[in-house]
Amino acid sequence: MARTWIFGSLWLATVVVIVASSVAMGARLSTSAFLFVVCAVPMGVMLLIGLSAPSPTVAEILYSVNNKQDGRR
């Protein structure tokens, strides 16, 4: 868990530095906002994937298929 928080904070700090340097160089606000969105989307996707339930393994899928009780023996 700590590694995830460290990676997330480093990512956010990098995005802030990039956007701040973009503003300091005189880029338009729309360009800086677009840059922020492009940099923030991968972190949002990682957050959505990380918070969801883990996908079943192949062994779990095969076990559930082999142990169905559908009346056949």
Of the CA atoms within 13 Å of residue 47, those in its CB half-sphere come to 11
CA pair distance 10, 4, nearest whole angstrom: 10
pLDDT tens digit sequence for 53-64? 788 899 988 888
Residue pair 21/35 in contact by the 8 Å Cβ criterion: no
For tokens 């300091």, the residue is: 24
What is the predicted pLDDT for the residue at 58?
92
- What distance, in Å, lies between the first and last C-alpha atoms of the chain? 46
pLDDT of 73 > 60? The answer is: no
Longest dimension (CA), the chain: 74
For the chain, the structural domain boundaries read 2-66
pLDDT tens digit sequence for 9-55? 888 898 889 888 988 999 898 888 898 888 888 888 887 887 777 88
